[in-house]
Amino acid sequence: MLIKVLSENTSLTDEFFHEHGLSIYIETEEKKILFDTGASDVFAKNARKMDVDISDVDYLIISHAHDDHAGGVEVLLRENPKVKVFLHRLARGSYYSRTDEADTYIGLDKKLLSHSRIVWTSESLAISDGIYVFSDVVQKYPKPMSNQGLFMECEGEMVPDKFSHEQNLLIEENGRSLLLTGCSHNGIMNILERFKEIKGKMPDVCIGGFHLYKTPQDEGGREYLDKIGRRLLTTGIQFYTGHCTGKWPFERLKETMGSKIDYLPAGSILLVE
């Protein structure tokens, strides 16, 4: 599997654009897949620089309904006449970010909801041979503290986001398994436990954000990250992260996990074989 990071908060060099968002291109022997689109057309601009033809992508999987992951959907639909877009059915809801000033809508562009090429998913779906999405993650471990400030509209009231609209992508090829997470709002360990329930083992490689960027830089925050790092290390998985994990939390995880975790800025290329 060939992986290219098209959008991320940072970039490998000044040649590539970056933004607060995530978009990852995966090429298997049979299919070309885009996992999230980032917040804008940055993914498309970097795709051209990285020899990725977005008009030839077969599937777009959106991890969850937030605009830093789905902001470029319209761009891809316009540039690609065949792509199928896979969204969790609960992504049709209304999602917000709360600050002291106001609640800001960060959900999907509502005019996209009736598009004929959107496929609505639920708990799990086999998209094609070796390509699956799954959600229905049970909370065994605490969700990230960085989820604070994220809300959803429910029966006319604003309530904390339950993140039931979040889904994860599993790709299997040549005996290797790759798990992609968008922000891991449901908690990276909880997602991994759900993966193990489905497949009977852990993935070989995991790529995605862990939503740790608001972790305080104090003793409590360091202990929190160290505990996560130790848990991740026990899985034997090779991790690559970025976006909402945050640079300081990544550096702290790196101290615990060493070579078992690395950071992937926009412009990165990775081969999983």
pLDDT tens-digit readout, 33-55:
999 999 999 999 999 999 999 99
Residue the block writes with tokens 């969850």: 64
Q: Give the distance from CA 138 to its chain's centroid.
A: 18
DSSP 8-class letter at 103: E
Cα→Cα distances 144→40, 150, 183, 205, Å:
25, 12, 10, 21
What does the buried/exposed string (b/e) look like for 116-153 if buried means 16 or more CB atoms within 10 Å of the residue's CB? eebeebeeebebeebbbbbbebeeebebbebbeebbbb
Determine the average pLDDT of the residues in 239-248: 97
CB 37 within 8 A of CB 75: yes
The CATH number assigned to the domain holding 123 equals 3.60.15.10
Confidence of residue 235 (pLDDT cuts 50, 70, 90): very high
* Measured distance CA(200)–CA(184) in Å, rounded: 20
Q: Is the pLDDT of residue 245 over 90?
A: yes
Rounded (5°) CA angle 134-262-144: 50
pLDDT tens-digit readout, 153-212:
999 999 999 999 999 999 999 999 999 999 999 999 999 999 999 999 999 999 999 999
pLDDT tens-digit readout, 57-107:
999 999 999 999 999 999 999 999 999 999 999 999 999 999 887 999 999
Q: Is the pLDDT of residue 1 over 90?
A: yes
Residue 244's closest CA among 73, 63, 89, 12? 63
* Measured distance CA(9)–CA(36) in Å, rounded: 14
pLDDT for the residue 116: 94
CB 189 within 8 A of CB 141: yes
pLDDT for the residue 123: 86
Residue the block writes with tokens 């960085």: 146
pLDDT tens-digit readout, 9-38:
999 999 999 999 999 999 999 999 999 999
Instruction: Give the count of domains, the chain.
Output: 1
Rounded (5°) CA angle 151-156-161: 20
CB 41 within 8 A of CB 71: no
Q: Give the distance from CA 207 to its chain's centroid.
A: 8
Domain ranges, residue 228: 2-271
